[in-house]
Structure 1
């Protein structure tokens, strides 16, 4: 059984990993966690590579603590991974991967699915609302918020497993397949701990250097803890003041899947002493930014960013493959782009 990690690069609060483990329980194969990183994606740079590889380090440690096989594989030259997935699939019963609607990933998943000799399942673990729970593209945050207030409640208690790898009933894979010897790129623990030197050899944009931010689940959880304990109380009033520095700062870790929106929501709900019984009647709130959640003003303001605005993007991207093209812009905006960019509503 293979979990092919492509977008939700974490081993906790992950519906795709949960699904892979369901197959393990039913069929009793051991689990292989495969996290590859290509070198020829658009905007490939040292900065992005380093952030993802730091996440690999945390994932390798988590898998090792729980006795599971993990393969962090970094492509060393364009096309260097050609044929790798097919060879792994030849020894697997099923592949599970992440269902992510953006970038080159949907196209890649479709192409690989046609080539593998086994079933490939793509599982959505992007937001609190499953992407396919909405069958229309919402043109505004207000319209989407009204929909959320009517439809989100049952999904709030449907949470992925916090520590799925700890289950002792899952068979363990004693060693990685020897086929990795034919595809150089498998990273040792030492290489993941300090990629500084060998990253120089990867054909990516080396001029875009690392930042002060560290990738991975450990750093993501530290950032979340800092936000909840020191910044959240001021978020409602000061989030639009850059100098106040009360934003969560979670964006890079959410983007690379190093932390789940479910974990963020769970931690926030616990701090707010919240339960679903506090939700307001959507007929009364009618899409209002405040009042539906039944939390503090700051918490509700943060959730509007985390859930409404973030998942509004997923709502469009999975339904319109032109999401990154001019044609996807609404007619009213295309007819007068100057007004759209510089008018009162900008």
Structure 2
């Protein structure tokens, strides 16, 4: 979906500017391809700018390192296409607006979180030229899928399914007609010494570098391995953290280093129940989270919950808790539960927690917190601090799900009320939980 964010006409600047934020990749990028077509039509070069916003991924070195690894690859691939790349520190409204003064047109990709929407609105007001937003990190555009917040995956699935046949086409790869000239240089941070840049940015190394390498090439390598070796087991074994059948695409999707439009056809071509199960997660569940944060401004608090969930949690807020852990205890994986501790240590060690354990992890924090508000706060802090896909619509929806969002009422019990409950016995019924605990033990 393409839309203008202000009423200004094209200017007479020397280039077209693409402000890259959500779609941090050089290929399968609708915003980039749109910017190329406009630059070609205007017979101008194209420059891409990325702003290292201190309000964005925080100062954790793990997140920044992963992101900068991807941006380094993106810069190289853009240069090969004749496209300039500028890396600037600071909020986008400052860095993009400054370069926008020399631009004929500014193109932005689309983000759904509150800060991303506000940044685009602020930039639209500051620019004297046209600002055009191109949606490119979903299979079905948010407003096309639904014009309102959906109640559950079941209601959303019906709406999105009608737009999947025929399946959305990939963006056309356009040739750049006017290459960025050697003298078209701008002040830019260097990406060839990542560790030096991380120190310059004051990044905090909270948990080590993690397991994953950022960038499109790394994402494609994992995707190839998933389709070739793991997908055939996905439907039956995806909830077993010992089985190792997940795609591990979520960090790459969060940073926009790979497109869901590239992933989906690869998986869809397999055409079996495993492919269907994966596409349910990639399209229905993931894009339901975009629907959630787009239409519900309270997505980062208990106020986002359906009335039944908010009511039942409030009714049981005063129930006694057998355990009441401080945030520091949770962060250090210092609880009485070896399975929960293992999940937290997996997160600390790798930057990603297995999806099924992530649900258990969230549910237990509700049980071990003084109030639902304390639990919600703790989960957001830990999720955003350590998960490579933290601060993502999918993450916010996942935390909210633990409290009843996109779910139904269950049998009433202490603390949870009618919100779905999980326990260690359930883990042991599904898989060898002790094996998992030993894998990420102390």
TM more than 0.5? yes
Shift of 1:17: 1.0
Alignment correspondent of 1:296:
272
* Distance in 2 between residues matched to 1:64 and 1:256, nearest whole Å: 20
* Distance in 2 between residues matched to 1:247 and 1:58, nearest whole Å: 24
Q: Name which of 91, 94, 99 aligns with 2:105.
A: 94
Question: Does the CA contact (< 8 Å) of 1:2 and 1:20 recur in 2?
Answer: yes
Counterpart check, 1:58 vs 2:73: yes
Alignment correspondent of 2:310:
334
Counterpart check, 1:261 vs 2:237: no
TM-score for the superposition, normalised by structure 2: 0.65
Alignment correspondent of 1:324:
300
- When structure 1 is superposed on structure 2, of 10-19 and 230-239 the one drifting more is 10-19
Shift of 1:343: 4.7
* Distance in 2 between residues matched to 1:205 and 1:225, nearest whole Å: 33
Question: Does the CA contact (< 8 Å) of 2:49 and 2:96 recur in 1?
Answer: no
* Distance in 2 between residues matched to 1:21 and 1:115, nearest whole Å: 23
* Distance in 2 between residues matched to 1:314 and 1:40, nearest whole Å: 20
Alignment correspondent of 2:181:
174
Q: Describe the shift of the 1:109–1:344 C-alpha distance in structure 2 as closer, same or farther (beyond 3 A).
A: closer
Q: Name which of 139, 144, 155 aligns with 2:151.
A: 139
* Distance in 1 between residues matched to 2:189 and 2:138, nearest whole Å: 30
Question: Does the CA contact (< 8 Å) of 1:40 and 1:204 recur in 2?
Answer: no
* Distance in 1 between residues matched to 2:183 and 2:154, nearest whole Å: 49
Counterpart check, 1:149 vs 2:161: yes
* Distance in 1 between residues matched to 2:85 and 2:54, nearest whole Å: 20
- Unaligned stretches of 5+ residues in structure 1: 181-185, 273-294
* Distance in 2 between residues matched to 1:138 and 1:202, nearest whole Å: 40
- Unaligned stretches of 5+ residues in structure 2: 1-15, 317-402, 405-415, 422-442
Alignment correspondent of 2:251:
252
Question: Does the CA contact (< 8 Å) of 1:56 and 1:72 recur in 2?
Answer: no
Alignment correspondent of 2:386:
none
Output aligned runs, 1:58-77, within 5 Å: 58-73=73-88, 75=89
Q: Describe the shift of the 1:344–1:104 C-alpha distance in structure 2 as closer, same or farther (beyond 3 A).
A: closer
Counterpart check, 1:9 vs 2:20: no
* Distance in 2 between residues matched to 1:176 and 1:249, nearest whole Å: 41
Tell me which stretches of 4 or more aligned residues in structure 1 moved more than 6 Å. Answer: none
* Distance in 2 between residues matched to 1:123 and 1:4, nearest whole Å: 11
Q: Describe the shift of the 1:158–1:18 C-alpha distance in structure 2 as closer, same or farther (beyond 3 A).
A: same
The number of equivalent residue pairs is: 306
User: Which structure carries more relative contact order (alpha carbon 8 Å, separation 6+)?
Assistant: 1
* Distance in 1 between residues matched to 2:104 and 2:55, nearest whole Å: 29
Q: Describe the shift of the 1:42–1:190 C-alpha distance in structure 2 as closer, same or farther (beyond 3 A).
A: closer
Alignment correspondent of 1:243:
242
Question: Does the CA contact (< 8 Å) of 2:33 and 2:171 recur in 1?
Answer: yes
Residue by residue over 1:29-72, the C-alpha shift from the partner in whole angstroms, topping out at 9 and shown as x without a partner, is 11001122123436331111111100111101111222221223
Shift of 1:113: 1.2
Alignment correspondent of 1:196:
195
* Distance in 1 between residues matched to 2:275 and 2:202, nearest whole Å: 43
- When structure 1 is superposed on structure 2, of 32-41 and 131-140 the one drifting more is 32-41
Question: Does the CA contact (< 8 Å) of 2:47 and 2:180 recur in 1?
Answer: yes
Shift of 1:97: 0.7
- Based on CA coordinates, which of the two structures has the bigger radius of gyration? 2
* Distance in 2 between residues matched to 1:9 and 1:150, nearest whole Å: 29
Question: What root-mean-square deviation, in Å, do the aligned CA atoms of Structure 1 and Structure 2 show?
Answer: 2.1
TM-score for the superposition, normalised by structure 1: 0.82
**Secondary structure of 1:242 counterpart:** coil
Question: Does the CA contact (< 8 Å) of 1:69 and 1:176 recur in 2?
Answer: no
